[in-house]
Structure 1
Amino acid sequence: MPKTKTTEYTSTAKWLHWGMALVWMTSWTLGILATHWRDELNPHHELTFLHKALASTLLLMVVVRVAWRLKNRPPALPDSMTVAMKRGAMVGHVLLYAIALIALPVSGWYWSSVADKPILVAGLFFLPPLVDPDPDLYDLAKYIHTWTSWFCGALVGGHLLIALKHQLIDKDNILAGMLPKVRR
């Protein structure tokens, strides 16, 4: 009997995807609020603390997600997609993992390290500093983290728009395959 072609991700993959999306978007928003409205919304750095506590968990979550992905193949992309579109999807996902889920949190960790500011992961344990404190590197570290953050915002926004295009225009059920099942 021929093997049926799955169009859905596993429940674990869905939980990891949406959980990480929620953590990432919340952390990203908190980071913007904490820096751009520091005096009004973050005078005692509570938002910064929460931003770091959430963002740092992404480093742990990405390890779990990549391990799951290596053991569980995702569903095949629709045949309606061209080879170039499939390649673009692969490149886009690699960029999301490499930059939004790894480089952005690491750049924040680096910035905190040069500033000699601790990072308490989810309120449970401290990350060790990546480098020794160095006030001379503070502005460079801030610049790297800030611009990586804005680039990631564009990446995630593009990911969202492409997912909506697949659902609303192409009607190819790619987004539906990542949505949680609703029990009746």
Structure 2
Amino acid sequence: MHDAPEHYTATAKWLHWLMAGIWIGAWVLGFSAVHWHAINEDHQITFWHKAIASTLLFLIVLRVAWRLTHPAPALPGNLSPLMRKAAHHGHMVLYAVALLALPISGWLWSSVVGRPIMVLGLFQLPPLTGEHGGVAPYVKLFHTYVAWACGALVAGHGLIALKHHFIDRDGVLKGMLPGRRQA
């Protein structure tokens, strides 16, 4: 096993912020598409929601591969063993739910209603299944609940990062900023 490095690599930082931006943008577009029908009559917001959200399916593979070959820096020494375990499990839940369950459930929803997903408008993802209109409301409901749960997870992740920065003053947030090294 590798010793923990002193800081995240530039690639890890850029993948983190790129994926965060994509995820937040896709979440806002998805919310807008569902709740503000008047501005989505032509379904262009839905198209762009799926076009950018689907990129997460590819980026998560790259991010996990990078993380497996480039370990994260050690957590601050002032964290208790319980907090260390919570941080590890929290990141795993965030990866599993926000970067896998949410985009896959959206892909499944598009599949069961027979609507294509064009990744960045460049190529179409194959459907995960044939059309199954009877299950579409359940898949939609699952995707919606996962989206709200993810919103809470992402907000919590951001708040914890701000706590590290403003209250603990331990350099965790600075260590994830591009061009900066962890204190």
| Cα distance in structure 1, aligned partners of 2:88 and 2:147 | 21
Partner of 1:179: 177
In the alignment, is the contact (CA less than 8 A) between 1:7 and 1:174 conserved in 2?
Answer: no
Q: Which residue of 1 aligns with 2:163?
A: 165
Cα separation, 2, equivalents of 1:6 and 1:114? 45
1:8 Cα deviation after fit: 2.0
| Contact persistence 1:114–1:133 (CA under 8 A) | yes
Rounded to whole Å, the distance in 2 between the matches of 1:18 and 1:8 is 16
Q: Select which of 47, 57, 61 maps to 1:63.
A: 61
**Percent pairwise identity:** 53
- In 1: Cα distance, 2:173 partner to 2:148 partner: 25
Encode CA deviations 1:123-153: one digit per residue, 9 max, x unaligned.
1111111111011011001000000000000
Output aligned runs, 1:76-87, within 5 Å.
Answer: 76-87=74-85
**CA drift at 1:180:** 1.1
Q: Distance in 2 between matches of 1:141 and 1:9?
A: 37
Where does structure 1 lack aligned partners over 5 or more consecutive residues? none
Give the TM-score taking structure 2 as reference length.
Answer: 0.95
Counterpart residue number, 2:112: 114
Partner of 2:152: 154
- Equivalent residue for 2:10? 11
Aligned length: 178
Question: Could you tell me which residue of structure 2 aligns to residue 132 of structure 1?
Answer: 130
The letter of the residue matching 2:120 is A
Kindly indicate whether the alpha-carbon contact (under 8 Å) linking 1:9 and 1:177 is maintained by their aligned counterparts in 2.
yes
Distance 1:126 1:179 in 2: 33
Where does 1:20-39 land on structure 2 (aligned, <5 Å)? 20-38=19-37
| Distance in 2 (alpha carbons) for counterparts of 1:29 and 1:8 | 31
Shift in Å, 1:5: 7.0
Return 150-159 or 4-13, whichever deviates more.
Answer: 4-13
Name the amino acid aligned to 2:19. M
- The alpha carbon displacement at 1:6 in A equals 4.2
Q: Give the TM-score of the pair, scaled to structure 1.
A: 0.94
User: Which structure 2 segments of 5+ residues have no match?
Assistant: none
Letter in 2 for 1:18: W
Q: What secondary structure does 1:95 align onto?
A: helix
